[in-house]
Amino acid sequence: MNHHKLLPIAFSLAILTSLIGAQTNVAIIPLDAKGVSDIEASVLTDRLAFELFKTGLFTVLERGKMEEILTEQNFQLTGCVTEECLVEVGQLLGVEQMMAGSVSKIGNTYSVILRLIDAESGAIVQVAGYDHQGTIDQLLSQGMSVVARSIAGQPVVPAAPAIPLARKGAASSAQGHLYVFPRLGVGFYGFGTNLSWGGQVGYGNESWGKVFIDFLGIEDVSLNVLALYEPGFRPLYWQLGIGYVSDSYHGTLWEQEGSWDNAEGLGVRIGLGYNYALGEFILIRPALELNLGFKEHTSNFALNLNFGFKTPNLW
């Protein structure tokens, strides 16, 4: 890649890093106790806050601070379970999202159900559930980590013996989604800088990953068609693939005739991006995508905004 491209790459990486580093401010309502004591529910709530913070995606409002603010406003949390009430609490606390849920016990099974609510609109951002057959000690030490990572959209290793419930918005290991992502952005190639466009069509899920057929064009002088694989990690994601890449560059007779040439051949794609969900099926994905050609003058890259949707579970 030419030296004059290094500055745009550094600038693009700085923008992407700032996007990835953003955390969501959240407040957790004490878990509703059903078949367990209030003290046990309180301890599990504290552990949930700790495990959510460990995911690196949330800034959790300390419980004492939350109670202090609500006391000053003369607001009682008792019975606050509806979306409307949670929105009111979230606005009083100045957080972006509210988390509420319950812990219950029937027979030998403990069950934790969580809802993540947008504090402005009241929309359900995510739900998660976790069933545990064992002691409440194991639920505390192992299960709360699983349910916290589940609602954060991170891969989990179920704590045995346990039965993790399906998380809304995530496919099971046997089901997948169709993904369609058009894109627009700015592309950088050997001949200059211009509009980038294209899209991705793929299939997969957040468990075992996704495969895509990808087309990226930079104006009408740089074309890239690749097959990509994306592991099932989110919200930060990366892609790796191989395919056809091309680029335009100043020809050897540029100074005399103003000519430019085109190079094409086999290359690889390295992509890094961030998933931002608007509801259950709409996704916005800013990304830095580098095409590294095996042939001289075929490398190019683009800073793109991929936007689109995934279908419900197919098969």
How do residues 60-100 score in pLDDT, each as one tens digit? Answer: 988 888 888 888 888 877 778 788 888 888 888 889 999 99
Token reading at 208: 């075992």
DSSP 143-186: IHHHHHHHHTT----PPSSEEEPPPTT---TT--EEEEEEEEEE
Predicted local confidence at residue 176, as pLDDT: 83
Considering 8-12, 22-26, 149-153, 165-169, the range whose residues carry the highest mean pLDDT is 149-153
Predicted local confidence at residue 35, as pLDDT: 92
Predicted local confidence at residue 224, as pLDDT: 93
Contact (CB, 8 A) for 153 and 171 = no
Residue 134: pLDDT above 70?
Answer: yes
Please identify, in words, the CATH class of the domain defined by 174-310.
Answer: mainly beta
Predicted local confidence at residue 12, as pLDDT: 53
Which residues are registered as beta bridge partners of 186?
195, 303
Q: Once rounded to an integer, what is the mean pLDDT over residues 183-209?
A: 88
Which residues are registered as beta bridge partners of 244?
225, 266
Predicted local confidence at residue 44, as pLDDT: 94
- The pLDDT-based confidence of 17 (bands split at 50, 70, 90) is very low
DSSP 5-50: GHHHHHHHHHHHHHHHT--EEEEEPPPEEESS-HHHHHHHHHHHHH
Backbone phi, then psi, for 90, in 5-degree steps? -60, -40
Query: d(Cα 171, Cα 166) in Å, to the nearest integer?
Result: 8
**Thinking of the domain 24-164, which architecture would CATH place it in?**
3-Layer(aba) Sandwich (3.40)
Q: Is the dihedral of CA 119, 121, 126, 127 positive or negative?
A: positive
Backbone phi, then psi, for 278, in 5-degree steps? -110, 90
Query: Which SS3 state, helix, strand or coil, does residue 137 take?
Result: helix
Contact (CB, 8 A) for 284 and 307 = yes
What end-to-end distance do the CA atoms of the chain give, in Å? 42
Query: d(Cα 182, Cα 215) in Å, to the nearest integer?
Result: 9
pLDDT digits (tens, 9 = 90+) for 206-227: 778 899 999 999 887 889 999 9
Q: Where are the domains of the chain?
A: 24-164, 174-310
Residue 256: pLDDT above 70?
Answer: no
Q: Once rounded to an integer, what is the mean pLDDT over residues 178-202?
A: 91
Q: How does the average pLDDT of the chain come out, rounded?
A: 82
Report the percentage of the chain scoring pLDDT > 70.
82
Going by DSSP bridges, is the β-strand pair 162-164/124-133 parallel, antiparallel, or unpaired?
antiparallel
Predicted local confidence at residue 182, as pLDDT: 96
Radius of gyration of the CA atoms of the chain, in A: 24
Backbone phi, then psi, for 142, in 5-degree steps? -125, -45
pLDDT digits (tens, 9 = 90+) for 97-111: 999 999 999 988 999
Predicted local confidence at residue 225, as pLDDT: 95
Token reading at 224: 């890239």
Q: Rounded to two decimals, what is the model's pTM? A: 0.47
Residue found by looking up tokens 């998933």 in the block: 275
Better-predicted residue by pLDDT, 203 or 280? 203
Q: Once rounded to an integer, what is the mean pLDDT over residues 281-300?
A: 91
Find the helix or strand (DSSP H, E) in which 257 lies: helix 254-257
Query: d(Cα 241, Cα 268) in Å, to the nearest integer?
Result: 6
DSSP state of 300: E
